[in-house]
Each structure stands twice: as structure tokens, then as C-alpha cells.
Amino acid sequence: MSSHAFDTALKLRALDQGRFAGTIGAAYWNMVGPYGGTTAASVLKAILMHPDVLGTPLSITVNYAGALAQGPFEVQLHAARTNRSTQHWTAAIVQNDAQGQPVITTTATAITAVRRETWSLSDVPMPPVARPAEVPPMRVAKAMAWLDNYELRPITGLIPQSWDGRQHDHSLSQLWMRDQPARALDFCSLLALADIFYPRVWLKRASRVPVGTVSMTAYFHAGEPELQATGTGYLLGQVRGQEFRNGFFDHSAQLWNEAGSLLCTSHQIVYYKE
């Protein structure tokens, strides 16, 4: 049995009627709650554990409605509609508040699909960048526990070294990344990696304003064969901010494996203060 921190964090116990019990631990703790990538991955894990699941993940949208605390939580799933080759899921994460009342912390929808081989083609080729071995790993200040579980090799758009408020000319970042210690890629870890990018507003403004992801959507282009071809290799992550407007910005991201297959595209809208 795996003892990887990611598997421990995502451990769920099936209850009745599409309910799955988990526990938020400290290993992926972020500033005021668990790392959003593991929250999203917990929803996906529950879907993939559901006895009725059809196919593999195609898309997921996770809405971060409120903070999760350390301790028990429940993923509640409903297969809203099952077609011949696609299945539509609605989901929520529920946790008891300080008064013991169940509260929805997270809403989500997801689609799983039976994928067949068809004409295929990428219209966003992997950018030409240095190989992972040529890029030194980031030295992480031990501020946030979740970062210890990732090996990050930033290529461009590094987190600002001084918070001097000087406006950056773009909001593009590229980095190589994988679980630490290395772990063979699966759908859940791919989804968690899609949330890894630090807030674009920090790069753009060189100012560490308070932020929080409000909603994240990921599209899975990888099936089982692409996951297996990736194994424990690195992913190249690329992210770019689009619009920063009145308290919220969005970004658009792509994740390729080392062979240049685009495994996942992802989008977020993120709150920022002031």
C-alpha cells in the first residue's frame, strides 16, 4: 500500500448513497485551509471510486465556497445523468461548522466519458524550454506545508524576489513540476498539479495581496495511455493571467508531459484584495 502523502490526503471511505468520508490533514495545508488542488482531487477521487462511474474524467469545475478546516469532511455525489458515453456528476463537500451544523464548503460538477481513439491533434505545441535537469529546483521557504509535496523547477515568471510593487510586464509563468517524492501520475494528481500556479496578481503587481481561488475548471485531454506514458516524469506547466478587474482575475493554464503531450488545460477565477 502506498504511503505517499498524496494518497494519504486523498483517502476516502465509501458510505451509502454516493457519500464518501475523508479527513483534512496537515500535509497539504495552505495558508487558511487545505491546498485547493487536493480539495478538487478529493471530489474527483470520490467520483472515480463510485461503483457506477462511466469512463475517465473529461472535465471538472470546482467552486471554493468556503474554507475547510482540519478534520473530517464528506464528499456527496450525484450522477445527474448517464448517457451512452458521457456521465454528468454534481458534487459537494460538506463539513460541520463550529456549531456542529453541516455546511457546504465546495460545489462541483464533473463529466466522465468513455474515450475512443479518433483523429487527434494539438493546436498548442509545448513551448521550447530547457529540460527539467537543466533547471534548478526551487528552494521553498517552509511557510506552507503543501509545497513540500511538490518538486518545482521554475523556468520563467518566478515568484517575485522582492515585493516592491513594481508592475511586471506580463503574467506568464512556466515551470517543470511533479509530486515529491516522485509518484506515477494519475487523474487526481494531474488535477492537483493544475492548481499549482501561484497567484498571477502577485507576479503582475509584485505585491502579496490576499487572494483565494473562487472557481477552477480543468479539461482532461489525457486518458490512461497518456498517464502511463508520463509515469513519474515531470510536467511542464504554463499559466498566463487574462483580466484583473475589480477584485477578481482569471488565468488560463496548460500542462504537458515531457514528451510534449498536452494532458490538461485549466482555468481559474481568483479573488484578490484591493
Binding site for a copy of itself (CB under 8 A): 58-59, 61, 63, 65-66, 80-81, 83, 86, 88, 90, 92, 103-105, 107-109, 111, 113, 115-124, 167, 170-171, 200, 204-205, 214-215, 217, 219, 221, 223, 240-248, 250, 252, 254, 262, 265, 267, 269, 271-274
Which C-beta is closer to a copy of itself: that of 57 or that of 132? 57
Quote the CA–CA distance of 232 and 19 in Å, as a whole number. Answer: 31
Least separation, in Å, of the C-beta of 8 and a copy of itself?
A: 28
Whole-number CA gyration radius for the chain: 18
Beta bridge partners of 103: 95
Which C-beta is closer to a copy of itself: that of 37 or that of 153? 37
Which C-beta is closer to a copy of itself: that of 58 or that of 235? 58
Least separation, in Å, of the C-beta of 21 and a copy of itself?
A: 20
The single-letter code of the amino acid at 195 is: D
Least separation, in Å, of the C-beta of 16 and a copy of itself?
A: 22
Least separation, in Å, of the C-beta of 191 and a copy of itself?
A: 15
What count of other Cβ atoms lies within 10 Å of the Cβ of residue 221? 17
Which C-beta is closer to a copy of itself: that of 117 or that of 141? 117
Quote the CA–CA distance of 142 and 140 in Å, as a whole number. Answer: 6
Quote the CA–CA distance of 263 and 267 in Å, as a whole number. Answer: 14
What count of other Cβ atoms lies within 10 Å of the Cβ of residue 230? 23
Quote the CA–CA distance of 28 and 188 in Å, as a whole number. Answer: 14
Quote the CA–CA distance of 122 and 253 in Å, as a whole number. Answer: 15
Least separation, in Å, of the C-beta of 35 and a copy of itself?
A: 20
Which C-beta is closer to a copy of itself: that of 187 or that of 272? 272
